[in-house]
Chains A and B, each alone.
Chain A
């Protein structure tokens, strides 16, 4: 039985997973945040984490907020739905530098988010097949558990980053 299709908004610090090919997991307006999609296209299972910051500090909020905690948690949730860890492919969207708001000398949050998400994925041996990161523009990510991952920049056209065959584009 297939559940009804829904658009699932994944807001700051949240994680969502789905095995319904008609669902759309989406994070609207990623700035310095990273939308991390993990897809097992063969089994039609995908998840999306909306990561805000690179490293967790105690009592800092939900696990989805921090790259180092969000990656293992997202893996746990997609494999609990039936995904095989060895089949997982990652797509990253976001990590823009929209403002220079950091304290002087600190590396930009968008850049650090990208670095930490990739490091956490490497530790789990999950390949990144496509990424649309950096720059200065906000982006929206849409993840369809059937296999496709789409990214759209503010004022731009929607781009396909992962096709239904599971390959990076």
Chain B
């Protein structure tokens, strides 16, 4: 199992902290409401344990997946419990559960990811581009496992940078996950000057 030093994990957590701070500000401006941002986690786990670390496997969620292109191979995944996706849609003035609601969530995913990834790029000097969002509603395990599988070929370890955003006064929270491929993580760390 590949491992990371405490210093490396601290550096990754700090990146996630700044990234999710920027994303939270963007969400807050869009909704005109306060958004709370949790202290992010940098999880390094055997693949078998990765799904449960994100949430209950059977939970119905809407996931917005945004693969990155450029200097680092990674996927951004936003996970909304379906009720929370519904309240976010309502706040944006679209009918929850409709095609319009899904495209509104895709657009939210796009904007939040652009903020997060933009700050990550600014800090590390990596050229990072977003590809179009792909949005589905399904079991949490199916969504997270499918994203992990797409980058899991040469590793038995998952690295997940996990931040929670919560809209104050509403039942509306989301997990913002960055799932880098193993080589991508090494690239970030070396750019930050935190080698093993």
Residues of A whose CB lies within 8 Å of any CB of B are 11-14, 28-33, 52-53, 57, 59-62, 65, 96, 98-102, 109-110, 136-140, 154-155
Looking at the complex, which one of A11, A59, A136, A137 makes contact with B51 (CB distance below 8 Å)?
A11
Q: How many residues on chain B are close to A (CB under 8 Å)?
A: 32
Q: What residue in chain B is nearest A11 (Cβ atoms)?
A: B48
Chain B residues with Cβ below 8 Å from A30 are 141-142, 145
Residue on B nearest A110 in the bound complex, by CB: B146
| B138 and A31 within 8 A (CB) | yes
Q: Identify whether the interface residues of A are mostly helix, strand, loop, or mixed.
A: loop
Q: Is the CB of B142 within 8 A of A109?
A: no
User: What residues of chain A lie closer than 8 Å to B140, measured between beta carbons?
Assistant: 29
Contact between chains at B60 and A109 (CB < 8 Å): no
| Known contacts A12-B145, A29-B145, A99-B146; is-contact A140 B139 (Cβ 8 Å) | yes
Which parts of B139-184 form the interface with A (CB within 8 Å)? 139-143, 145-150, 152-156
Assess whether B23 is interfacial by the CB under 8 Å rule.
Answer: no
A–B complex contacts, Cβ < 8 Å, 29 sampled: A11-B51, A12-B51, A12-B148, A13-B47, A28-B58, A28-B141, A29-B58, A29-B138, A29-B139, A29-B142, A30-B145, A31-B142, A32-B146, A32-B149, A33-B145, A52-B148, A53-B152, A53-B153, A60-B155, A61-B155, A99-B65, A99-B147, A99-B150, A101-B67, A101-B75, A109-B149, A109-B150, A140-B58, A140-B139
